[in-house]
Amino acid sequence: MSKVFSAHAVSVDGYITGRDPGAGRGLGDAPMLFDWYFDGDTPSGVFDGFKLSGPSARIFDTLAGRVGAVVAGRNTYEDSDRFGGGSPHPAARLFVLSRRAAPEISERQTLVTTGIEDAIAAAREAAEGRDVALMGGGVLTAALEADLVDEVILHQVPVLLGSGRRFFQELPKHVRLCLVEAVPAPGVTHLHYEVAR
């Protein structure tokens, strides 16, 4: 069975954006969350243009290589300029979760308006045995609530942002995590957890 995981660059106080993210503004006032993608000398084997430190490249490419489909929340989709009509991943189809119509969705993208379970089921089918990556704090939280997440990865950047979009939103229950790996790297610490069941 393919896995469902979420890997985000996150501040130590739990934000995945700064203030005022949006279309054309990226992560708002916190572009430093993504500095480690470009600050190294090891090119990613999956994402063109990414140059990471050696330890980060190993972690990043291992995760990226597992992805067969992506489920992104509507906010991530809109704030990322709709991924130019394509996908955030070079080899994986994008599924956008929303409760609203999206007339602008392209034929290379799929809109799901019937909930997180349907979005993940459709993504799993498209992934053909590979894994499903979740993007967006709202989508991750909905999937945790539905007990559909296997792994949570925090690429923790040493900054306190004070405000922004939260990685984890309000949950109606506790979710226990088991640490699989913790890797300190230049400008980021990679924390890889499995969801305990």
Task: Point out which residues bind ligand NAP (CB under 6 A).
Answer: 8-9, 16-17, 21, 33, 72-76, 79-80, 97-100, 115-116, 135-139, 142, 165
Q: Closest distance between ligand NAP and the C-beta of residue 14, in Å?
A: 11
In the complex with ligand NAP, the residue whose CB is nearer, 63 or 129, is 63
In the complex with ligand NAP, the residue whose CB is nearer, 9 or 64, is 9
Are 71 and 97 within 8 A, CB to CB? yes
The helix/strand/coil state of 92 is coil
Dihedral of CA atoms 9, 10, 11, 15 in degrees, nearest 10, equals 130
In the complex with ligand NAP, the residue whose CB is nearer, 68 or 155, is 155
- Residue 151 structure tokens: 């792994």
Residue 48 CA to residue 163 CA, distance in Å, equals 31
Phi, psi for 123 (deg, rounded to 5): -65, -40
- Residue 38 structure tokens: 């470009």
Q: Closest distance between ligand NAP and the C-beta of residue 189, in Å?
A: 14
- Residue 53 structure tokens: 């430190």
Q: Closest distance between ligand NAP and the C-beta of residue 53, in Å?
A: 17
In the complex with ligand NAP, the residue whose CB is nearer, 16 or 129, is 16
Q: Closest distance between ligand NAP and the C-beta of residue 162, in Å?
A: 15
